[in-house]
């Protein structure tokens, strides 16, 4: 059931740190949504065409939002040409969404190694077997490649492929959207300032 909260108290100032506000909203979503860490990621192709896909958030702190992927994928190629990126979190049970815009940087090799090692073995082997975003003639081809790497790495130790890495999204803006009665939604924005602080504003619904 859609939860429609009461109107916020206009006298209550918004949380000063957008990361702290994100963590508060995420904790509530994580208690109710099966995939609260699912986010829509938008990138831009060299010809200006946008593309989107759902990806799982794998880490967040004051530095930014982290996800992992194959560096040979379409999104990685687009990010190599244009580091601008947008994220969208939507939690239907809370009637909330968060929009984030920024740029990406690579995580460290140590971070990528640590997260890769935490994945299930079959997922690690799949990172070797998949030429992500490339044409696939038949499912059997992927299954054969997976079997090949299962034979090559028979134990629990599976090294991280050189083409598999992570990105950290460094936000320059946030928008926190809360559904309100009669479509009088509450929209709070955070925009990064030159001194790395945050300017807080409101938008008409």
For the annotated catalytic residues, the residue numbers are: 183
Establish how many alpha carbons lie within 13 A of residue 77's alpha carbon, considering only the half-sphere containing its beta carbon. 11
**Which DSSP category does 63 fall into?**
T
Q: Which residues pair with 29 in a beta bridge?
A: none
Sole residue written with tokens 């299962």: 150
**Helix boundaries (H) for 56-182:** 74-81, 109-118, 121-129, 139-152
* Residue 187 exposure: Cα atoms within 13 Å on the Cβ side: 10
Residue of 22, 156, 164 lying closest to 97 (CA atoms): 22
Which of 4-16 are b and which e, b meaning 16 or more Cβ less than 10 Å from the residue's Cβ?
eeeeeeeeeebbe
């Amino acid at each position: 059931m859609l939860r429609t909260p009461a109107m916020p108290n206009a006298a209550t100032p918004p949380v000063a740190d957008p990361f702290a506000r994100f963590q508060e909203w995420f904790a509530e979503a994580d208690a109710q949504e099966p995939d609260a860490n699912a986010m829509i990621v938008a990138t831009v192709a060299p010809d200006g065409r946008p593309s989107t896909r759902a990806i799982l958030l794998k880490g967040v702190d004051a530095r930014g939002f982290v996800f992992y992927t194959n560096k040979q994928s379409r999104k990685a190629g687009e990010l190599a040409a244009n580091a601008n990126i947008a994220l969208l979190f939507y939690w239907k049970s809370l009637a909330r969404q968060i929009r984030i815009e920024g740029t990406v940087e690579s995580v460290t090799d140590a971070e990528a190694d640590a997260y890769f090692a935490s994945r299930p073995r079959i997922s690690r082997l799949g990172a070797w077997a998949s030429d992500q975003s490339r044409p696939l003639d038949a499912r059997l081809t992927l299954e054969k490649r997976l079997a090949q790497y299962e034979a090559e790495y028979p134990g629990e130790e599976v090294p991280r492929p050189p083409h598999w890495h992570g990105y950290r999204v460094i936000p320059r803006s946030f928008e926190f959207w809360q559904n309100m009665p009669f479509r009088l939604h509450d929209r709070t924005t955070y925009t990064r300032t030159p001194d790395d602080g945050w300017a807080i504003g409101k938008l008409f619904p």
